[in-house]
Chain A
Amino acid sequence: MNSIKNMIETAGWPRIIIGLFLLSLFMVAPLVGVKVSTSIHDTIVRFGRNGVMVLAMVPMIRSGCGLNFGLPLGIIGGILGILISVEMELVGMSGFLTALGLGVVFAAFLGWGYGILLNMVKGDEMMIATYVGFSSVAFMCMAWLLMPFKSAAMVLSYGGSGLRTTISMDDFWTDLLSCSLLDMLPDAAASFFSQLDISFLYKILPDGLVAWAVSVVQFIFLEQAMGMILFFGFMCFLVWLFFRTKVGQAMNAVGQNPDFARASGISVDKMRVLSVVLSTVLGAVGIIVYAQSYGFVQLYLAPLYMAFPAVAAVLLGGAAVGRVAIVHVLVGTFLFQGILAMTPSVINSALKGLDISEVLRLIISNGMIIYALTRRTKEVR
Chain B
Amino acid sequence: MTGDDMTDDPGGLFRCEGISKAFGDTRVLTDVSFSVGRGEVVALVGENGAGKSTLMNICFGMPSIIETGGYSGQLYLDGQPVRFGSPKEALEAGIGMVHQEFSLIPGFTGTENILLNREPVNRSLLESVFGGRINALDRPRMEERAGTALSKLGVTLDQQTHVSQMPVGNKQFLEIAREIDRSRTRLLVLDEPTAVLAESEASILLEAIRKLAADGLGIIFISHRLREVMELCHKVVVLRDGHKVAEMPTRETSVRQIAAFMVHRDKEEAEEQRVAKDFSAAPTALSVRHLWVDMPGERVDDVNLEIRENEIFGLAGLAGQGKLGIPAGIMGLKPAGGEVDFYGQKLPLNDPRACLAAGLAFVSEDRRGVGLLLAESIQMNIGFTAMQLQKQFLKNYFLFATVDEAALEKNALKYIDELAIKCSGPLQKAGHLSGGNQQKVCLAKAFTLAPRLMFVSEPTRGIDVGAKALVLNALRRYNQELGTTVVVTSSELEELRSVCHRIAVINEGRVAGILPASAPLEHFGLLMSGEEVEPEASAPCGEAVPAEVGA
Contact = CB atoms under 8 A, between A and B. Distances in A.
Contacts of B374: 256-257
A241 B401 CA distance: 9
A266 interface: yes
Interface string A112-136: 0000000000000000000000000
Nearest to A257: B373
A265 B384 CA distance: 11
Interface in B360-402: 362, 364, 369-376, 380, 384-385, 387-389, 391, 394, 400-402
Contacts of B389: 264-265
Contacts of A198: none
B388 A246 contact: yes
Nearest to B351: A265
A265 B357 CA distance: 9
Interface string A248-290: 0110010011011011111100000000000000000000000
A262 B388 contact: no
B206 interface: no
B251 interface: no
Interface residues of A, number: 18
Contacts of B387: 246, 249
Interface string B329-360: 00101000000000000000000110111000
A250 B388 contact: yes
B372 A245 contact: no
Given A256-B373, A260-B373, A245 B385 contact: no
A150 interface: no
B403 interface: yes
Contacts of B402: 241, 244-245
The listed residue with most A CB atoms (<10 A of its CB), out of B364, B373, B391, is B373
A323 interface: yes
Contacts of B372: 257, 260
Contacts of A262: 333, 352
Interface string A358-377: 00000000000000000000
A37 to B, nearest CB: 40
A244 B404 CA distance: 9
A260 B384 CA distance: 10
A253 B402 CA distance: 15
Nearest to B383: A249
A260 B403 CA distance: 19
Nearest to B353: A265
A188 B502 CA distance: 80
Nearest to B389: A265
Given A241-B402, A265-B385, A246 B394 contact: yes
Nearest to B445: A264
B470 to A, nearest CB: 24
Interface of A is mostly: helix
Contacts of A250: 388
A56 B409 CA distance: 32
B401 A264 contact: no
A264 B388 contact: yes
Contact of A323 (B333, B369, B375, B394): B375
B375 A256 contact: yes
The listed residue with most A CB atoms (<10 A of its CB), out of B376, B384, B389, B401, is B384
Contacts of A253: 373, 384
B369 A259 contact: yes
A245 B364 contact: no
B473 to A, nearest CB: 25
A244 B403 CA distance: 6
A143 B372 CA distance: 47
Contacts of B391: 246
A249 B352 contact: no
A262 B366 CA distance: 14
Contacts of B364: 263
Contacts of A323: 375
A241 B384 CA distance: 17
A253 B430 CA distance: 13
A266 B332 CA distance: 12
Given A246-B401, A250-B388, A263 B373 contact: no
Nearest to A262: B352
B358 to A, nearest CB: 11
Nearest to A2: B69
Interface in B398-428: 400-403
Contacts of A267: 353
A259 B367 CA distance: 11
A263 B370 contact: yes
A241 B394 CA distance: 13
Contacts of A256: 373-376
A354 B394 CA distance: 61
Interface in A226-244: 241, 244
A246 B364 CA distance: 23
Nearest to B404: A244
A110 B111 CA distance: 46
The listed residue with most B CB atoms (<10 A of its CB), out of A257, A264, A323, is A264
Contact of A241 (B376, B380, B400): B400
Contacts of B362: 263
Interface string A168-198: 0000000000000000000000000000000
Contacts of B331: 263
Interface in B250-300: none
B184 to A, nearest CB: 25
A257 B389 CA distance: 18
Interface in A200-239: none
Contacts of B384: 249, 253, 264
B75 to A, nearest CB: 24
Nearest to B331: A263
A323 B362 CA distance: 28
Given A260-B373, A323-B375, A266 B403 contact: no
A58 to B, nearest CB: 16
Nearest to A241: B402
A78 B184 CA distance: 61
A329 to B, nearest CB: 19
B388 A260 contact: no
Interface in B182-199: none
Contacts of A249: 380, 384, 387-388, 403
Interface in B488-522: none
Nearest to B395: A244
Contacts of A266: 353, 388
A241 B331 CA distance: 32
Nearest to B387: A246
Nearest to B63: A381
Contact of B333 (A246, A257, A263): A263
Contacts of B370: 257, 259-260, 263
B445 to A, nearest CB: 9
A250 B391 CA distance: 12
B511 to A, nearest CB: 25
Contacts of A265: 352-353, 355-357, 385, 388-389
Contacts of A264: 352, 356, 384-385, 388-389
A323 B333 CA distance: 26
B401 A260 contact: no
Contacts of A260: 370-373
A253 B370 CA distance: 11
Nearest to A322: B375
A381 B76 CA distance: 30
13 contacts: A244-B402, A245-B401, A246-B394, A249-B387, A257-B372, A260-B372, A263-B333, A263-B362, A264-B385, A265-B389, A266-B353, A266-B388, A267-B353
Interface of B: 331, 333, 352-353, 355-357, 362, 364, 369-376, 380, 384-385, 387-389, 391, 394, 400-403
Given A263-B331, A267-B353, 4 more contacts: A245-B402, A246-B394, A259-B370, A265-B353
Interface of A: 241, 244-246, 249-250, 253, 256-257, 259-260, 262-267, 323
Instruction: List the 8 closest pairs (A to B, CB-CB), nearest first.
Output: A265-B353, A244-B402, A264-B385, A265-B356, A259-B370, A265-B352, A256-B373, A263-B370
